[in-house]
Structure 1
Amino acid sequence: MTDRITVDDLRKVTLCVKGLRRYFNERGLDFKDFVKNGMTVEDAMLHGDEAFIRRVIEMKGQGDGEQ
């Protein structure tokens, strides 16, 4: 499994870019940097709902053909 979460990973779990931008702005996070570089799983856990991030990781693994 990749240790980074990207905007495409979050869109796969039905999040829109507009909502993501608002989420990042509310937390003082750099949305443009996230779109360009993604975010480590560890950083995502620090700034987000752990259960949701785990679901994103699970879906990412399924998309990569991993279990």
Structure 2
Amino acid sequence: MTRVTIQDLRAARYCLAGVRPWFRRHGLDWQAFLDSGIEADTLRATGDALVEPVILQTELRETAAREADDGR
């Protein structure tokens, strides 16, 4: 389960002022996203290619966290 967070949007260098209206256009709850993130599959289901750089950042963050937990 890949969960995208605000941290991932920032890492992808997305403008938060532009992302809020994007969430609204796609019927996604911005505040819920801020509170607990959103599933990558939910973002992909929008069909918007702009989500892929953010999901990549999420996957990189999760991989780094797993490797740190494994003691690598």
Q: What is the distance in 2 between the residues matched to 1:16 and 1:49?
A: 16
The Cα of 1:48 is off from its aligned counterpart by: 4.5
Distance 2:55 2:27 in 1: 23
The aligned runs of 1:1-67 (5 Å cut-off) are 3-50=2-49, 52-64=50-62, 65=64
**TM-score normalised over the length of structure 2:** 0.68
Deviating above 4 A after TM superposition, structure 1's stretches of 4 or more consecutive aligned residues are: none
Flag structure 2 segments of 5+ consecutive residues without an equivalent: 67-72
Identity, % of aligned positions: 28
Could you tell me how far apart the structure 1 residues matched to 2:30 and 2:60 are? 25
3-state DSSP class of the match of 1:47?
coil
Larger radius of gyration: 2
CA RMSD of aligned residues (A): 2.1
> Number of residue pairs matched?
64
Counterpart CA distance in 2 for 1:48 and 1:31 is 18
